[in-house]
Amino acid sequence: DTHDPAALRTPIVAVLGHVDHGKTSLLDKIRGSAVIEGEAGAITQHIGATAVPLEVVSSIAGELVDPDDFDLPGLLFIDTPGHHSFTTLRSRGGALADIAILVVDVNDGFQPQTLEALDILKRSQTPFIVAANKIDTVPGWNVHEDAPITQTYESQSDRTRQRLDESLYTIIGNLSDQDFSADLYWRVQNFQRNVGVVPVSALTGEGVPDLLAVMMGLSQRYMKEEMEIDVAGPGVGTVLEVKEEKGFGTTIDTVLYDGTIRSDDTIVVGGLNDPIVTEVRALLQPRPLAEIRTESRFDNVEEVGAAAGIKVAAPDLEDAMAGAPVRVVRDRPLEDVIAEVESELADIAVDTEEEGVVVKADTLGSLEAMADALGEAEIPIVRAEVGDVAPRDISVASTADDAKQRAVLGFSVDVLADAKRRAEIDDVKLFTDDVIYQLVEGYTEHVEEIER
């Protein structure tokens, strides 16, 4: 092995799936298992993410992961709340996540956000596996806490096994309907061609060793070259969320996917108007093992290296956009870095036409995904922006000559009260949804009605 392990960054693993299918529980289980294994201190809690080092992966996975077989430092899991679009997780030229886990509840099966997630995984060509979760709820299930799946599967009654198989084959069938060839993970030879399905329970930990082993193996096998980065170089990341934080003002929750960021760095951040140039005031990391979403107390850190989730406090971040790039300047000419951010923003920019519908979305990535979906449906766009639906969006839509185009489509955004009133007066149709294809469908049906 000729690689310096320090030169390989942690692969970023996005955990996605429909609301309540068990994404957070799965990560909680991994953190909890680390506590039992006496490895709690080794796990670091990041903003929106959990870093699990190789030693911990290996102690949870037992004989399924021999640390000597790997030289990647571990895995960084990003939890995406059900209603928050995975599309925010973008980086230059594509998906921010190197790899993904799509969580599907074995009882509930495929749901709108499952389909949405699959669609985005397809578009971004992100390799993924499916965690068929909640296997402990199969009637007659006999629990073997934290056991590998084969072990617990073998010791179930024929009846219970049959019931689980039925659910698993339904999921495999659903994947095939979406043009993904899938099978139970132990039957998959080539994970680039076939999607592996791992039966798990986030509650009992059954199958979690397998899940970690498969993720680690996949990353090592297919992703190692992409993990070879200039670990000490100026940091590059993506804004996950723009948030007010008591005592810090506006902060940006950022996923760093390259290089390092230091507490005295100057950074350039993509903004609603121009790139924002500002100086880091503080780098904030949640306290160890604390629940991130309710966490209000942070540790100040001097420096973090990729991959990591970190809250950055700095002046002038009010206009920062979710999904926008963040770049550390360090000892490079400022203009060059500004130009990099501008070109990156231009890559994401949506092509607009003279006439078309108005599109609003919560993040740059979701705006891009909306534009893709509308493009496929041959629906032109006149204006596309990040942000809530505001009166001026209605004004723009109301100028359309074609009745079909007097419409505003909002993805994961609110409609401001003034805008709602304006829309009624100006006879502009408003469509909002948290699922892209449903939004496009709603609009298409409206158009069909007009044409009828």
Residue 203 interacting with ligand GTP (CB under 6 A): yes
Distances (CA, A) of 49 to 44, 74, 117, 158, 451: 9, 13, 18, 39, 47
Choices 58-66, 200-208, 209-217, 242-250 (CB under 6 A): range interacting with ligand GTP: 200-208
Cis bond leading into 307, ω under 30°?
Answer: yes
From Mg ion, ligand GTP, none, interface partner of 359 (C-beta below 5 to 8 A by class): none
Residue 22 interacting with ligand GTP (CB under 6 A): yes
Question: Considering beta carbons, is residue 114 or 152 the nearer one to Mg ion?
Answer: 114
Choices 19-27, 47-55, 288-296, 406-414 (CB under 5 A): range interacting with Mg ion: 19-27
Instruction: Report helix angle 112-124 to 364-376, nearest 10.
Output: 90
Residue 254 interacting with Mg ion (CB under 5 A): no
Nearest distance from residue 232's CB to Mg ion, in Å?
A: 34
Residue 265 interacting with ligand GTP (CB under 6 A): no
Output the residue with the shortest Cβ distance to ligand GTP: 82
Q: How many residues at the interface with ligand GTP, by CB under 6 A? A: 17
Nearest distance from residue 207's CB to ligand GTP, in Å?
A: 9
Nearest distance from residue 50's CB to ligand GTP, in Å?
A: 13
Nearest distance from residue 32's CB to ligand GTP, in Å?
A: 12
Instruction: Report helix angle 208-223 to 23-36, nearest 10.
Output: 100
Distance of CA 306 to the CA centre of its chain: 16
x/- site string to ligand GTP, residues 112 to 141, per CB under 6 A? ---------------------xx-xx----
Choices 12-20, 59-67, 353-361, 386-394 (CB under 6 A): range interacting with ligand GTP: 12-20
Instruction: Report helix angle 208-223 to 54-61, nearest 10.
Output: 140
Residue 38 interacting with ligand GTP (CB under 6 A): no
Tokens of 312: 């950055």
Spatial distance between the Cα atoms of 21 and 273, rounded to a whole number of angstroms? 38
Nearest distance from residue 451's CB to ligand GTP, in Å?
A: 37
From ligand GTP, Mg ion, none, interface partner of 256 (C-beta below 5 to 8 A by class): none
Residue 360 interacting with ligand GTP (CB under 6 A): no
Q: How many residues at the interface with Mg ion, by CB under 5 A? A: 2
Spatial distance between the Cα atoms of 323 and 345, rounded to a whole number of angstroms? 10
80 is in an annotated binding site: yes
Residue 202 interacting with ligand GTP (CB under 6 A): yes
173 is in an annotated binding site: no
Q: 80 to 99, contacts with ligand GTP by CB under 6 A?
A: 81-82
Q: Which of 128, 132, 171 is nearest to 14 (CA)?
A: 128
Tokens of 17: 């799936």
Residue 23 interacting with ligand GTP (CB under 6 A): yes
Question: Considering beta carbons, is residue 203 or 447 the nearer one to ligand GTP?
Answer: 203
Q: Which of 10, 45, 201, 278 binds ligand GTP (CB under 6 A)?
A: 201
Question: Considering beta carbons, is residue 23 or 144 the nearer one to Mg ion?
Answer: 23
Nearest distance from residue 186's CB to ligand GTP, in Å?
A: 20
Nearest distance from residue 142's CB to ligand GTP, in Å?
A: 14
Question: Considering beta carbons, is residue 27 or 214 the nearer one to Mg ion?
Answer: 27
Residue 31 interacting with ligand GTP (CB under 6 A): no
Residue 24 interacting with Mg ion (CB under 5 A): yes
- Please enumerate, by residue number, every residue annotated as part of a binding site: 17-24, 79-83, 133-136
Where along the sequence are the contacts to Mg ion (CB under 5 A)? 23-24
- Please enumerate, by residue number, every residue annotated as part of a binding site for GTP: 17-24, 79-83, 133-136
Where along the sequence are the contacts to ligand GTP (CB under 6 A)? 17, 19-25, 81-82, 133-134, 136-137, 201-203
